A and B are shown apart, each in its own frame.
Chain A
């Protein structure tokens, strides 16, 4: 652990961004010969040679600006003193960075800055880590001849509205780094310089408090600020960190690399890692600031047991909790059979932990009843991409988007759900890439500052396959396909079948228009744009997978990419945006009931043999229960015991009345989690979990990138999650004796060909690795399917549009679709326990003004939402973001009950629930629904059971 600890220092700043060029330029800086790529600035060339030219407005995450006049240099033959940040290197250039003349100018510049800057360095929060302070030292500032009595900004008021950082304009030097960071890095354009000359000041939106402005609190401005103007509140409270550890964010599937900047075992701040391969120094409000949940008072740190969910909890030792669980599970198996128990792995846990849970189920439980929450999000991606391309994963690295000419985003809302990737995507759009958005809602990618989609296919929920087929129809019927690619790379017979199918009239844009609501001409235009681009890339999300035809839509996407030759190089591809941090990893690790690690079917005797020999057990050759099947089997009385690690099925899964009935039918439910989540309220055993800050392991992000998670503090409850699984395996009679997750990764590498070359040593060395990593690709694989598809030839699959059974009628005339919001994460267990609630304190129902008016609904009204499955009540938000006939909500707060309303309809191939289409009625109400009232009393009772356990423990101690 200690090797990962680095003494605190500010990350190296080269002043201006790195440039790439085939041509190298050689120059002399202070008698040192320097060779850099053409286009590099003098400031950066000097920094790369170890020569630090003073600077304030320049930083290597932003384009040169040239305002502070500190980085002036002398260049032989050039007039005056050019700014080194805006001057590009030239062959043979001779640069001097230090001279009497330069020193005088720089000192004068600093003198002016400091004449309007409070001299409270010793009590300033950035004392010891302030670029202005450093520059005053560097230029040898000794006096301010102007005094401090002139016009100044000392009386400007602090803005403390943002829960995570303060804006203190008295310390601002108007270098514009924050404004530029908001534009160039984040792409939100929330900040500006208001006024002119001496009156210039940084303003959020229309001179609003930060919290009320368009600011999305990504932290880029705070990171860019060279003074204490924009400062983390945690830093103000705790002071400077003393060491840092590089680790990986535990929020979305972007998998940003962070420096956990620490004081002992306390996190002072999480700072995006400039060397992070997925995020390149950028972050969002969740990863950057919302880490307080890890030490929240709601954390449960003692194991608890009870015989019935109608009894209070009893705090017990780890030994007692584990032996209680093992005894119950064994009794259930003895009474109901080997298949009566199972487990659910978590996309929020590490690869090593999910691997161990599936091993526990297959080896110690002796069945394949293991599934993961990817069942309810991206299981269709696994099925669809494996079928067509041969591998259940996205094809590109995130950086690939910077080479795309056309970007098509389908059923995904990256600015909210994958914000750091969204910033990169928007940067590419600002550079000129065209954008197609396929979404029922007008998301921020359809229109926001400096972003406007070229085509918005605002389709009716449930018609993805029809629209994708229509696009392919246009491409084939107009001869826009890539014949050469198809002939060389794809199975011929399958292509011919598909071609005949796709040319059928039922797939024409005109035929699809009525069903989808998308004008035929819009479909034609989008298809032509996609097919004619040199590089066209598809990014998709749960708006594709969470449908009754989720798997079909994924295959239709693969068909589109194959028929236009948009696979196998940078700038193209098929890219699923994974919801949670380790969705990709949990799937890779064999969490599905039909697949062993590496997506290999359990019916394959050779694969089973490999694992059987290594694990010393016999593996069941038949697939086990998927999560929805587990619930059905529980209600039917054949499934009685469940081990859930880090998932909250009682909030996240659809048709919650059904889920509650299933969970109540279990004889032994074991929940391992940070908090007493909704699922834990149905549990008999609670095993305290460990946060990502408390353990070692790896996460794999949406681009197949494996990154280290490093322990920065000891687990609050004593064990890392993998250790708890190991204790349970041993108690069940299956021996496990790992001493560190490194050993688990060694086993994964030994048994999984795509991970063969992965090790902790290599991860330390390379920073991150994109699988496959093996003998053929020892450094990993940023782009897949380059020479050939993983399955050999690409397989076109016929994708008939089969309308969902979930149809609107006079009783349920609206379609509900659900999604996520930037500040909250999944079930909200983490983010609801942070100040992120300032942005989203409750789930609301978005409804179009037309539908709202018909029902007499206004923003803020209580609205009843009823489907065939259930009924709940939410507050209304009347907005044109949704089209008439469609309503939308999020599922971040359990009491809003979004999933009481969603149905048990699911994807035909994988049983992934159809969250995105539910026929509903909405109407004005005065009080909460019956379900919500029952929920409140059940929750109150369960919290009372928890309070009793804690009180009992205090009495025992007392």
Chain B
């Protein structure tokens, strides 16, 4: 899938779950949302993107909350495969 679209979606989720006061809650909420509504393939792709960066292509940046949430997913995936 178009990784820019996934990044945009993740950023939207993060922005809507962020009340500006409790970033940890926003990150937890974003992780939970990605798990409940995204397919494993979509999650793998955004994690891959997070790990590898843009590869020189023009991509949208993950927001702080979204990046933290994807980092959590990356960690969990690593633990699962370890």
Contacts and interface: CB of A to CB of B under 8 A. Distances in A.
Nearest to A910: B37
Of A552, A623, A805, most B-chain CB atoms within 10 Å = A623
Contacts of A906: 9
Contacts of B80: none
A636 B1 contact: yes
A331 interface: no
Interface in A82-133: none
Contacts of B15: 800, 802, 908
A801 B26 CA distance: 15
A549 B39 contact: no
Interface stretch (A232-240, A282-290, A318-326, A624-632): A624-632
A601 interface: yes
Given A632-B2, A632-B5, A800 B16 contact: yes
Contact of B16 (A339, A549, A625, A911): A549
Interface string B12-55: 11011011110000000000010111111110000000000000
Contacts of A549: 16
A501 B5 contact: no
B1 A633 contact: yes
B36 A629 contact: no
Given A601-B36, A603-B36, A624-B39, A908 B5 contact: no
A603 B37 CA distance: 11
A551 B1 CA distance: 24
Contacts of A497: 19
Contact of A636 (B2, B9, B21, B33): B2
A622 B40 contact: yes
B5 A904 contact: yes
Contacts of A622: 39-40
A623 B39 contact: yes
Contact of A802 (B5, B16, B36, B37): B16
A64 B35 CA distance: 61
Interface string A888-927: 0000000000000000101011110000000000000000
A594 interface: yes
A205 interface: no
Contacts of B12: 548, 802, 908
B55 to A, nearest CB: 16
| B contacts with A: majority SS | helix
Contacts of B2: 632, 635-636
Interface residues of B, number: 22
B1 A623 contact: no
Contacts of B21: 501
A638 interface: yes
Contact of A552 (B5, B9, B16, B36): B16
A623 B38 contact: yes
Of A501, A632, A802, A909, most B-chain CB atoms within 10 Å = A909
Contact of A501 (B13, B19, B38): B19
Contacts of A552: 16
B37 A623 contact: yes
Of B15, B16, B18, B35, most A-chain CB atoms within 10 Å = B16
A763 interface: no
A433 B20 CA distance: 39
A798 interface: yes
Contact of A908 (B16, B19, B41): B16
Contact of A800 (B5, B20, B39, B42): B20
A909 B1 contact: no
B40 to A, nearest CB: 5
Interface string A586-609: 000000011000000101000000
B8 to A, nearest CB: 8
A800 B19 contact: yes
B18 A800 contact: yes
A909 B37 contact: yes
B44 to A, nearest CB: 11
A339 B15 CA distance: 30
Interface string A620-661: 001111100100110110100000000000000000000000
Contacts of B42: 629
B46 to A, nearest CB: 13
A909 B20 CA distance: 18
A633 B3 CA distance: 11
A943 B71 CA distance: 51
A690 B35 CA distance: 38
Nearest to A383: B37
A551 B8 CA distance: 17
Interface string A486-511: 00000000000100010000000000
A626 B5 CA distance: 14
Contacts of B20: 800
A34 B38 CA distance: 65
A594 B16 contact: no
Contact of A339 (B8, B35, B39): B39
A832 to B, nearest CB: 33
Contacts of B8: 805
Contacts of B36: 594, 601, 603, 623
Interface in A775-813: 798, 800, 802, 805
A798 B19 contact: yes
A906 B5 CA distance: 11
B42 to A, nearest CB: 7
A548 B13 CA distance: 10
Contact of A594 (B9, B37, B40): B37
A825 B53 CA distance: 46
Interface in A322-373: 339
Contacts of B39: 339, 593, 622-625, 629
B19 A909 contact: no
B20 to A, nearest CB: 7
A647 B19 CA distance: 38
B41 A909 contact: no
A909 B5 contact: no
A754 B51 CA distance: 44
Contacts of B1: 629, 632-633, 635-636, 638
Contacts of B9: 906, 908, 911
A908 B36 CA distance: 13
Contacts of B35: 603
Contacts of A501: 19, 21
A635 B5 CA distance: 13
Nearest to B16: A908
B16 A909 contact: yes
A593 B21 CA distance: 32
A552 B17 CA distance: 10
A200 B63 CA distance: 72
Contacts of A625: 39
Contacts of A624: 39
A382 B29 CA distance: 18
Nearest to A798: B19
Contacts of B38: 623
B71 to A, nearest CB: 20
Nearest to B15: A802
25 contacts: A339-B41, A497-B19, A549-B16, A552-B16, A594-B36, A601-B36, A603-B35, A622-B40, A623-B36, A623-B37, A629-B39, A629-B42, A632-B1, A633-B41, A636-B1, A636-B2, A638-B1, A800-B19, A802-B12, A802-B15, A904-B5, A906-B9, A908-B9, A908-B15, A909-B33
Closest 9 CB pairs of A and B: A908-B12, A798-B19, A632-B1, A908-B16, A636-B1, A802-B15, A622-B40, A908-B13, A625-B39
Interface of A: 339, 497, 501, 548-549, 551-552, 593-594, 601, 603, 622-626, 629, 632-633, 635-636, 638, 798, 800, 802, 805, 904, 906, 908-911
Interface of B: 1-2, 5, 8-9, 12-13, 15-16, 18-21, 33, 35-42
Given A633-B1, A638-B1, 16 more contacts: A501-B19, A593-B39, A601-B36, A603-B35, A623-B36, A623-B38, A624-B39, A625-B39, A626-B37, A635-B1, A798-B19, A800-B15, A800-B16, A802-B15, A909-B16, A909-B33
